[in-house]
Structure formats: structure tokens, C-alpha cells
Amino acid sequence: MVTFLQRTFTSLVNAHVGRTQGIKPVRSRSLGRRKKHAAPVNLSLEPIKFMPTILTHAAVPLALGLGLGVRIIPKQLLWAGIVASVIPDLDVLAFRLNIAYSHDLGHRGVTHSVAFALVVALLALAMSQQLRSSRAVAFSFVGLSAVSHSLLDMITNGGLGVALWWPWSSERFFAAWQVIEVSPLSLSRVFSTRGLAVLQSEILWVWLPAALVVTALLALRIIGSNFTFKRDAAQKRVAP
Ligand SMILES: [Zn+2]
């Protein structure tokens, strides 16, 4: 079991850096120009290597959940959002089934599409009672969390692009602005130059904006509660 998980984790890491056995580079669209995926990187089996990337995908639901508070995003819904932000990368199992990276069922294929995010959102809508939320909030929060995964992948500078519009198109897309370094990390490499560059780009382009979103939402909530308090106090004063 451990060996299987290690292989799966390594497939995930390899996928993010474009290393796939026997798979030719395919072209991905990036704002009208075409680009080949990153050069192969030699990796060993160390599960910890891909963890920062997985954790970074959870930044979006965490920021929204913490910013909006438990009354809007209860704990159960927050966890559903975190799961939705991570599950698209389960498609690395395709490597174990010898499915090509560039195939629709390959990594960054079907599970990274808007259609997949919609299905996940509809599932959340159906489970809104269990998630202690309204249908609209469950659908919106989980759907946004799922699609955020694809959008973050699109601004990484490794692997293939994302099949965003599957099943209407199998074309892989990158954003024109690819700022997040995609690289494996291991405890032994965290303090290497490349490892620090990856951490720096994820902090700068994902975690820092996420912290700003949390701060902005908290400020709005405080302003909103102060306004409500003053309005209620005024109504009490004029009431007979
Ligand atoms: Zn992904």
C-alpha cells in the first residue's frame, strides 16, 4: 500500500513538471501562442515532494471560508471546498493505468474542466443539508473551490495546460501569465535554491493574495456588523 501511494505521489509530482513516461510533448495554448511543456526532471520516491502544491490549492477555500465566517461557510462546507480544490489531481491515477498525459482522461484533462467543477458543485448542492448550508451557497462555494484548482494550474509554468473546456474541446490551456513555479519539493530540497523559488512563488502569488482576501472580507464583516448595530440602536430609540 505504501509503495502504491509513493508511486501515485511521484506520478503527481512528475506530472506537474511534465515528466511522463513515453509521452511526447503536446502543445498547449497560451493566449494565442503555443508552448511545449517543461523539461523532464529526475525524481525519486518521496511523498513529501508534492505537498506544498496540494496545500496551495486549498488556499482559495480556506481564504473564502475564514473571510466569510462560519455562519456563511460552516465547517462541513469548508471541508467540502478544500476537498473540491484538491480532488482534480486524483487524475494522476491515470499514469498507473498507462493513460497518456495528453489524453482527455490524463492529468489536467477531464477533472480540470469547468464541466467537472460543475458536477462537483451540483453534488454539493444535493448534499447541502449535510453541509449545513443553503443550496446556493453550497453550489457556489464548492464550485468555485473546484474551478480554482484549474485556474491555479493554468498559471504554473510546468506540465501541460488544462483541458478547461472539455467536453467541448480537448485543447489544453495555460494563462498568459504563468508566475507560479512548479517543482517537486522534498524536505532535503526545501532549502535548495529551486525549492525556495517554488515556495516564494506560491507565497507571493497564492498565499499572500489569499491573506489579503481574508483581511478584506473580515473588514467588510466588521463594518457590516457595526452598521447593523447602529441601525438597531437607532430603531430602538425611536420605537414607542
Ligand atoms: Zn491539477
Tell me the per-residue pLDDT of 145-161, one tens digit each, with 9 for 90 and over. 999 999 999 998 888 89
Vertex 119: Cα angle to 130 and 93 (nearest 5):
100
Q: What is the largest CA-CA distance in the chain?
A: 81
Q: Output the pLDDT for position 191.
A: 59
Look at residue 8 and tell me whether its pLDDT is greater than 50.
no
* pLDDT over 80 (residue 143): yes
> Burial of 223 by CB count in 10 Å (0-12 exposed, 13-18 middle, 19+ buried)?
exposed
- The residue ranges of every structural domain in the chain are 52-238
Name the grid cell of 159: 506540465
Whole-number Å distance, alpha carbon 237 to ligand 1 midpoint, is 56
Question: From the CA of 143, how far away is ligand 1's center (Å)?
Answer: 15
Helices (H) then strands (E): counts for the chain: 9, 3
Q: CA-CA distance, 65 to 77, in Å (whole number)?
A: 9
Q: What is the pLDDT of residue 157?
A: 86
Centroid of ligand 1 to alpha carbon of 89 (angstroms)? 5
Sequence-ordered list of residues with C-beta below 8 angstroms from that of 99, at least 6 positions apart, any chain? 105, 106
What gap in Å lies between CA 159 and CA 174, rounded to an integer?
A: 10
Q: Identify which has the larger pLDDT, 5 or 171.
A: 171
Question: Residues 38-77: pLDDT tens digits?
Answer: 434 333 333 334 444 678 899 999 999 999 999 999 999 9
| Distance between CA atoms of residues 138 and 144, nearest Å | 10
DSSP 167: T
Its pTM stands at 0.74
Please state, in angstroms and rounded to a whole number, the distance separating the CA atoms of residues 28 and 31: 10
Sheet holding 173-174, edge to edge: 33-35, 28-30, 173-174
The 10s digit of each residue's pLDDT in 175-215 is 998 888 875 545 555 556 777 787 888 899 999 999 999 99
Q: Could you tell me the distance, in angstroms and rounded to a whole number, from the CA of residue 150 to the centre of ligand 1?
A: 6
**Distance from the CA of 48 to the center of ligand 1, in angstroms?**
17
What residues contact residue 98 under an 8 Å CB cut-off, 6+ apart? none
7 CA distance to ligand 1 middle (Å):
17
Q: What is the pLDDT of residue 182?
A: 72
Asked if 220 contacts 226 with a C-beta cutoff of 8 angstroms, the reply is: no
